[in-house]
């Protein structure tokens, strides 16, 4: 191969490598299965790679505030995004709601129980209740809302076991370590036959459960990050989200932007 041809090949290889962008997405762990699917689809359609980091919304928020290398943040409530907007950590004009969810009461599938609704959590048959840590886990904050509006939080509180994220709460229930847990409907769906849903929280008992996505201000890949957010609003992405049990903007009962 001549030096000229070798030089041209080197330029083409470098150009191809530079055209491929990797964006880092920090997201609520309840989105893990859906986002893993979507990241693969996004890479196939654009060539851009997506590296996913999951945790509670509060944990990811803290990473961003501490300078973590994250380009896109997807939370399980508006609270964390609002706080990051106040500290000028994200680009508010990029914010959009990509999905919604429900809140359910679950029990171990193979355990007989008299629990048949959220109100029954105040009874003696409920020994331990698992919920997410309200300060960092939106599902936990939604759970506290429900219990407070029903007027049973103070009675139930001594028996609450707090999880670091909603998936940990779900695992407590799956293993039978607690009488019941309060998780998202999508998590209960992913658990399959390991848990049983006994009640779904009415909308009047808790704030709307939405997943706002936003680009982090310090991102060096803002254009690619915006492309990913655009992708999350496509019909293809919505189909993946609904298949996993989420509601999406545009359908009946969907979350508001």
Do 167 and 227 lie in a common domain? Answer: no
Do 120 and 60 lie in a common domain? Answer: no
| Structure confidence at residue 95 (pLDDT) | 97
Angle CA 242–246–247, to nearest 5: 85
| Structure confidence at residue 13 (pLDDT) | 45
What stretches in the chain show pLDDT beneath 50?
1, 6, 8-18, 252-253
Domain contains 257: no
CA pair distance 61, 219, nearest whole angstrom: 14
The per-residue pLDDT for range 199-228, each reduced to its tens digit, is 999 999 999 999 999 999 999 999 999 999
| Structure confidence at residue 36 (pLDDT) | 97
Domain contains 254: no
| Structure confidence at residue 200 (pLDDT) | 97
DSSP H stretches of helix in the chain: 3-19, 32-46, 57-65, 78-86, 138-149, 153-156, 166-174, 185-191, 222-232, 235-243
Do 199 and 74 lie in a common domain? Answer: no
| Structure confidence at residue 21 (pLDDT) | 87
| Structure confidence at residue 9 (pLDDT) | 43
**Residue range of the domain that includes 123:** 103-205
Domain contains 63: yes
What secondary structure, in 3-state letters, does 170-231 show? HHHHHCCCCCEEEEEHHHHHHHHHHEEEEEECCHHHCCCCEEEEEEECCCCCHHHHHHHHHH
| Structure confidence at residue 60 (pLDDT) | 97
Give the total residue count for the chain. 257
Do 140 and 72 lie in a common domain? Answer: no
| Structure confidence at residue 20 (pLDDT) | 66
Do 125 and 88 lie in a common domain? Answer: no
pTM as predicted: 0.87
Give the domain CATH number at 143: 3.40.190.10
Pairing status of strand 210-216 against strand 90-100: antiparallel
Do 40 and 126 lie in a common domain? Answer: no
CA pair distance 149, 238, nearest whole angstrom: 32
Cβ burial 61-94 (10 Å sphere, 16+ → b, else e)? bebbeeebebbbbbbbbbbbbebbbeeebbbeeb
Question: Which are the contacts of 246, defined by CB distance < 8 A and separation ≥ 6?
Answer: 34, 99, 100, 101, 186, 211
Do 116 and 151 lie in a common domain? Answer: yes
Q: Which helix (H) or strand (E) holds 163?
A: strand 160-163
Closest CA to 142 of 77, 213, 54: 77
Domain contains 172: yes
| Structure confidence at residue 255 (pLDDT) | 61
- CB of 54 within 8 A of CB of 29? yes
Overall number of domains in the chain:
2
The per-residue pLDDT for range 8-33, each reduced to its tens digit, is 444 444 444 445 689 999 999 999 99
Do 13 and 35 lie in a common domain? Answer: yes
């Amino acid at each position: 191969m001549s030096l000229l041809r070798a030089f041209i090949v080197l330029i083409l290889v470098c150009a191809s490598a530079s055209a491929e962008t990797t964006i880092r997405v920090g997201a609520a762990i309840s989105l893990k299965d859906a986002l893993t699917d979507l990241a693969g689809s996004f890479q196939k359609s654009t060539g851009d790679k997506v590296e996913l980091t999951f945790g509670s919304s509060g944990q990811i928020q803290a990473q961003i505030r501490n300078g973590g290398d994250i380009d896109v943040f997807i939370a399980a409530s508006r609270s964390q995004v609002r706080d990051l907007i106040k500290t000028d950590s994200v680009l508010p004009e990029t914010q959009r709601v990509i999905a919604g969810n429900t809140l359910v009461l679950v029990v171990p599938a193979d355990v007989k129980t008299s629990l048949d609704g959220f109100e029954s959590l105040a009874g003696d048959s409920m020994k331990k209740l698992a919920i997410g840590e309200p300060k960092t886990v939106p599902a936990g904050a939604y759970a506290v809302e429900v219990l407070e509006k029903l007027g049973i939080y103070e009675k139930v509180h001594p028996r609450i076991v707090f999880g670091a994220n909603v998936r940990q709460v779900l695992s407590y229930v799956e293993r039978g370590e607690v009488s019941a847990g309060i998780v998202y409907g999508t998590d209960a769906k992913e658990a399959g036959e390991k848990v049983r849903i006994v009640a779904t929280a009415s909308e009047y008992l808790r704030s709307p459960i939405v997943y706002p996505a936003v680009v982090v201000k310090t991102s060096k890949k803002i254009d690619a990050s915006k492309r990913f957010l655009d992708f999350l609003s496509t019909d293809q992405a919505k189909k993946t989200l609904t298949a996993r049990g989420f509601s999406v903007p545009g359908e009946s009962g969907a979350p508001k932007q």
